Chain A
Amino acid sequence: MNALGSLLHRPEPVQALLAGAHQAFSTRRVPRERLRQLLPGPAHPQAGDLLLAEVTALGQHRNVELCSGRKAGLAVGDRLILAYGNRYAPDQFEALVPDDLGPCDLIAGGGLASREVARHAAMNAPTRLRPLGRLGDGQGRALNLADFALPPLPQPPPAVPVWVVCGTSMNAGKTHTAAMLIRGLRAGGRRVVACKLTGTGAGNDLWKMRDAGAERVLDFADAGYASTYRVPLPGLIAASLRLLDHASAGADAVVAEIADGLGQAETAGLLRSDALRRRLSGVLFAAGDPLGAAAGVRWLREAGLPVRACSGVFTAEAQGREEAAGLIDLPVLRDTELAQPDIAQRLAAVVAR
């Protein structure tokens, strides 16, 4: 870089720019005082890198979720503290971290900056961003969510029942299933901690699980990831186990949600891993329709997982429950049944095949 280039790209103190900037939920583990410099580039951003960006055009996401959970309305010119991340959301967007600090997209309301690759037909174009630079520490080093991850526990906590909820696809009712299971476990007198092992950094699902009675909620952001799309499997497994360790500490039961459907690479890889399988007490499968429920149960059994029941959006209708009962040799539970105090005993009584 020549002298002029060094001048143009030298780190800038960031306080003035950060004043009034919205800090997105995906960056909630980052204390604001750690953000000391703006690193304008050129740069090759990595997933998890923190950035300051300005909204240049409003699109699909017209709000950004703050660390508090409040959704702040956006306007052109607003400055946002975000994290770069890849997104895999079949009902919304696919997006990849760009190779440069050029214009990109607000690809998730939880505060993910990325560049759109594809979108569901029901989506509008994403909200557009102009990155002002990555955010660095006092030494000019780019900060990444991984710098703020929970550390490994010095020793494994005592084993507690771990219930995993996975499903056919996005919007199959996984989070609702998890939340109602949490209600049931709570009603049965258990201290429940919830976590989301994969997905995209956003508060919606975590807040739902918290509102259902989970004493604590964790997700992959607590393990240093803005999202889990394209995270290599060993790292994802390690992060998941770390989250389960932290969740288990002080809990009587853990409810863990795995995002997207069984056709998603990270979801499938994680569910097929021996390390995760050894930690599970049982799997609840949330499906969008009865046939998907039957397919999911078969898939999980072939993967050697102890699937104990089905639920999901199809159970909202009597017809869906009746159809599924004819296809599946497992309990088909609607949300109100999951919320009963005896749910743990009911699930434990199901013989896993």
Chain B
Amino acid sequence: MALETYINAVCRISDHTIIKNGETVFSNPNDDLSAFLISSYKHLNINYPKFYKMDNLSKLGFLASEVLLQHSFKAEEYLPQDIGIVLANANASLDTDIKYFETVKDIPGPSLFVYTLPNIVIGEISIRNNFKGENAFFVFERFDTNFIETYIRNLLDSDVLNACICGWVEVLENEHKAVLFLIETNMTNGSIFFTKENINKYIANG
């Protein structure tokens, strides 16, 4: 049954700035990416020491999800297997692949190797929030609005999921961009319709 679907929150992290639903939450323009991610974590007062072990791709995705979900998502209204995650990027885990490969010269680093797969960021968000629903990671040259809208809508319409975090998470050296959407079928105060036009408004560069 086709249900109305809504974007109930958006979080964008790019240019060392975290923006939720159009409002700046935190900005630290002078840092390199690693320093920015850690200063964001500290500013947001997230108490989750496992954060420090993540690679930059997972740190970025994790932070974006924390900001996305805070005050916007009631996990207790769902079963764990009804909440899923669909992400995409262009470079998969290349940033960490390079860092891991450098350790192979001496002794290969196990904790770095763990992150040489782009879907580990999905694993981190799932572990943190106990999300057990369907999850997928796609590799595209650029964000494919048509694809994401059709795919997520289908998952919700066919009852595979009742809520979904979807979007783009990309890191390569200091280049970074995360845009995450919270998609649900219930309407809330800040809801906007889940349409290609609305997605594009937030994905656009700038």
A binds B: no
- Residues of A at the B interface (CB closer than 8 Å) are none
- Residues of B at the A interface (CB closer than 8 Å) are none
